[in-house]
């Protein structure tokens, strides 16, 4: 936003100093990505810029590490260990994230609908319990899940991981759907009921279309939380529950390879796409509520 013509020198100094400070903060947040993404295309076997890369020589760039990521071990010049664990980890992460997102979205939407009612008793206490996974340190949550799931023999199973990731994604769904319901006009549901609509039809035909942006936004946050999660997998996962973040963690401990950077780049791109989708849904939700998108 440009300064008005009548701005004083002190106001201009503060304005541009503030913009410069914001730029430095933004650079501090984005700087790791600036390093990771170019390094994922290195032709070398180490996590460093080669002389060819610094000279922008095409010979210094390669997609070999992305080929390893999908299990392509045809390149015989690669001296690092090449296996299909990266591909299996990505498939497992996608499988767990999809089902955990479906479970978290279903339960979170129902919980938000109940918490949005003024006659709901102990709303604040229940809401605090719902969002507790966002507040409690993840290592404590993972330890508690391990002790609890071990009694039901859910440790080292995909079912246990899906349930655990659903618990981690549930707060995002509850918060976003509750925020959407804040501006919901309850007279619409009363009008539908006066016209003979039953509660189920009322929900799917009246409420659901209006709160859909909040549900999808919460589902996207739950998905990326599950897809990127590693601490709970280390506690609850067995040898068969290899996920992409767990494989990245193992790769850092056992053999540092640029394949880790390729996987990190894929996760960054996925997160950016999901955030863009969330922003588009937010703007759509504001338009449906008659608010000009900011």
Q: What is the pTM of this model?
A: 0.81
The pLDDT of residue 255 is 67
Percent of the chain with pLDDT over 70: 91
First to last CA, the chain: 13
**246: helix, coil or strand?**
helix
Task: With beta carbons less than 8 A apart as the criterion, state whether 109 and 177 touch.
Answer: yes
Write down all domains in the chain, each with its CATH number in brackets: 88-288 (1.10.3720.10)
pLDDT digits (tens, 9 = 90+) for 122-153: 888 888 888 888 888 999 999 999 999 999 98
Q: What is the pLDDT of residue 99?
A: 95
Residue identified by tokens 């009363």 is 190
**Percentage above 90 pLDDT, the chain:** 22
Work out the average pLDDT over 218-228: 90
Instruction: Pick the closest to residue 211 from 120, 277, 289 (CA basis).
Output: 289
pLDDT at 79: 53
Q: Output the pLDDT for position 265.
A: 87
Sequential DSSP letters for 6-67: T--HHHHHHHHHHHHHHHHHHHHHHHHHHHHHHHTTBSSSSSS--HHHHTT-GGGB--HHHH
> Residue 248 belongs to what H/E stretch?
helix 244-254
CA distances from 211 to 73, 162, 174 (A): 46, 25, 12
Residue 71 has pLDDT above 90, yes or no: no
């Amino acid at each position: 936003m440009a300064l008005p013509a009548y701005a004083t020198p002190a106001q201009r100094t503060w304005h541009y100093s503030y913009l410069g400070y914001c730029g430095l903060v933004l650079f501090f947040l984005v700087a790791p990505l600036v390093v990771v993404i170019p390094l994922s295309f290195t032709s070398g076997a180490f996590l460093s810029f080669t002389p060819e890369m610094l000279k922008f020589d095409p010979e210094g760039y390669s997609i070999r590490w992305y080929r390893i990521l999908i299990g392509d071990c045809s390149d015989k010049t690669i001296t690092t260990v090449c296996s299909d664990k990266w591909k299996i980890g990505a498939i497992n992460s996608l499988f767990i994230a999809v089902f955990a997102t479906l479970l978290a979205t279903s339960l979170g939407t129902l919980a938000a609908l109940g918490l949005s009612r003024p006659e709901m008793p102990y709303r604040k206490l229940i809401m605090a319990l719902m969002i507790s996974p966002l507040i409690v340190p993840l290592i404590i949550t993972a330890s508690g899940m391990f002790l609890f799931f071990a009694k039901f023999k859910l440790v080292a199973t995909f079912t246990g991981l899906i349930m655990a990731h659903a618990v981690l994604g549930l707060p995002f769904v509850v918060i976003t759907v509750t925020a959407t319901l804040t501006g919901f006009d309850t007279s619409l549901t009363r009008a539908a009921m006066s016209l003979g609509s039953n509660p189920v039809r009322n929900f799917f035909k009246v409420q659901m279309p209006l709160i859909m942006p909040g549900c999808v936004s919460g589902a996207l946050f739950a998905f990326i939380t599950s897809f990127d999660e590693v601490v709970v997998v280390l506690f609850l996962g067995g040898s068969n529950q290899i996920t992409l973040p767990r494989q990245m963690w193992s790769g850092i401990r056992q053999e540092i390879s640029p394949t880790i950077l390729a996987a990190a780049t894929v996760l960054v791109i996925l997160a950016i796409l999901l955030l863009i989708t969330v922003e588009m849904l937010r703007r759509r939700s504001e338009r449906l509520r008659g608010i000009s998108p900011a």
